[in-house]
Structure 1
Amino acid sequence: MKLYIYEHCPFCARARMIFGLKNIPVEEHVLLSDDSGTPQSMIGEKMVPILQKDDGSYMPESLDIVDYIDNNYGGKPILVGSQSSEISALIKQLQHYDYKLECPRYIKLGLAEFATQHAIDDFVANKTKKIGSFDACLEQTDELVMSVSNILDKLAPLIVSAHACNGNLSLDDILLFPVLRNLTCVKNLTFPPKIKAYLESMSRQSKVNLFFDQAV
């Protein structure tokens, strides 16, 4: 199987996680951020992740990929734990702020999807329409970090285990880890110990890297 992704994409991280958690081999292919032709030839639109199955057919949508792999490969399903409405609510709160913190930093991390200047320029042009200028977002770093830190402080007591946020692997881990993982690209942000331990453990389990070493 092949998985077409961007390294920075939280939806792609969801799909990558299930392969890592179940130790299922998959070829990862990083598309350039400005490459619309490849995904359109596969699924008729520009989006990732895209899974190319063993039969050659293509499957988009991160949670569909997660469900397909968990239920059809690597033995019994592993995402069997309960979900938390409190964690779901805090994920939504984080998403009010994380885009402005992360987008201006993604292009500084040396990621494969931004290997060309045109790919960077295309990304900047598209995201500027949604969040305003990258420079203005960077100027808001302290304010945004404070807002995110307050949410992380509420989240930390809800993390039951470093190995699974609710104690047993669940869909909450698939939804939570990518959001937290992308925040590791923000150098100014300090994670509560329980959340940092969860990030590091989940990264090892899922084989999805963190951005601490590249943080800006």
Structure 2
Amino acid sequence: MKLYVYDHCPFCVRAAMVAGYKDVDLQIVPLLNDDEASCHQLIGKKMVPILEWGDQAMGESLDIAKKLDEIGSGVKLMRAPTDYQSITAVISSVQRSISCLLFPRNIQAGLPEFATPSARDYFQRNKEPMIEQSFATAMADTALHKQRVETMLASLPHLSLPSENGDTLGWDDVMIYPTLRNLTLVQDLQIPQQVRDYLQEIAALTRTELYYAIAI
């Protein structure tokens, strides 16, 4: 069984965190960001994550996460104990600033999906229209975007820790964690302690990596 991913992709993180938590025996396969052919060969369109087993393959992150939850060991993921939609709405309220912080840093961080110049160029060419500015401008405006994101982080409701729920993972975590995890790529971003605690516990529970060590 193989899980094709981009390391920076929050949808891929959803699948990877369930695989790690449920101890699913699979191979994580990073794809280059401009590798359209592999995606089309597997599921007929450019999309990750992709789960492949035998002669079958599937896309859509939550469908993959649910399948991994079914086949993995241990108890199934909990239903959301918190109103995760209100939390994700707060995060999404500054999505443009999040993207302006992350997109240019993604291609500088040495991630496997950006191992070639063509993969980096492909990403930049596709993402600059989404943020309506160049990566250089986004980086130059780092202070502005950090301020907006830090204000958002400080306003987040309490995040329920795994340790408060018997060291278990919930579907709300699958929705909340990936974007917060990716923000650890931003150097000196002021992340409140309750959010840091949440990130550390989820990372340990799911065997996923935070970006503090390579923050830019």
**TM, length-normalised to structure 2:** 0.92
Q: Secondary structure at the residue paired with 2:110? A: coil
Q: CA RMSD in A?
A: 1.8
SS in 2 for 1:182: helix
Alignment partners' CA distance in 1, 2:159 and 2:168: 11
Q: Which runs of 4+ in 1 moved over 6 A?
A: none
Q: Do the aligned partners of 1:83 and 1:172 also contact (CA within 8 Å) in 2?
A: yes
Match of 1:60 in 2: 59
Q: Give, in whole Å, the separation in 1 of the partners of 2:118 and 2:163.
A: 39
Are residues 108 and 164 of structure 1, via their aligned partners in 2, closer, same or farther at CA, if it must alter by over 3 Å? farther
- 1:84-163 paired onto structure 2 within 5 Å: 84=83, 85-131=85-131, 132-155=133-156, 157-161=157-161, 163=163
Deviation string 1:81-134 (CA, Å, 9 cap, x unpaired) is 424142132232242421111000001111111111111111111111211200
State the match for 2:41 in structure 1. 41
Number of aligned pairs?
213
- Post-superposition CA distance 1:12-62 (Å, at most 9, x none): 000000011111221000000110000000111111000012x33001000
Contact 2:21 2:207 in 1 (8 A): yes
- Whether 1:80 and 2:79 are equivalent positions in the alignment is yes
AA in 1 matched with 2:63:
D
The alpha carbon displacement at 1:199 in A equals 0.7
Partner residue of 2:51? 51
Residue 3 of structure 2 aligns to a residue whose secondary structure is: strand
Aligned residue number for residue 207 of structure 1: 207
1:31 aligned partner: 31
Q: 8 Å contact 2:5–2:49 — kept in the other structure?
A: yes
Q: Secondary structure at the match of 1:184?
A: helix
Please state whether the residue corresponding to 2:4 is helix, strand or coil.
strand
SS at match of 1:51: strand
Q: Structure 1: state its 5+ residue gaps.
A: none
* SS in structure 2 of the partner of residue 28 of structure 1: strand
The alpha carbon displacement at 1:164 in A equals 6.8
Q: How high is the TM-score relative to the length of structure 1?
A: 0.92
Distance 1:208 1:177, change over 3 A: same
Structure 2 unmatched ranges of 5 or more: none
Alpha-carbon shift at residue 163 of structure 1 (Å):
4.1
The equivalences for 1:13-24 within 5 A come to 13-24=13-24
Task: Specify the SS of the correspondent of 2:196.
Answer: helix
Distance 1:162 1:138, change over 3 A: farther
1:204 deviation in Å?
Answer: 0.9
Answer yes or no: is the 8 Å Cα contact 1:81–1:168 preserved in 2: no
The secondary structure found in structure 2 opposite 1:29 is strand
Alignment correspondent of 1:70: 69
Judge conservation of contact 1:30–1:113 (CA < 8 Å) in 2: yes
Paired-residue identity, %: 37
Distance 1:164 1:35 in 2: 41
Worse overlay, 21-30 or 80-89: 80-89
Give the residue type in structure 1 aligned to 2:69: D
Higher mean displacement: 68-77 or 130-139: 68-77
Displacement of 1:188 in angstroms is: 2.9
In 2, the alpha carbon distance for the partners of 1:191 and 1:82 equals: 23
Q: Aligned partners of 2:15 and 2:198: how far apart in 1?
A: 19
Separation in 1 of the partners of 2:6 and 2:42? 16
**Contact 1:185–1:214 (Cα < 8 Å) also in 2:** yes
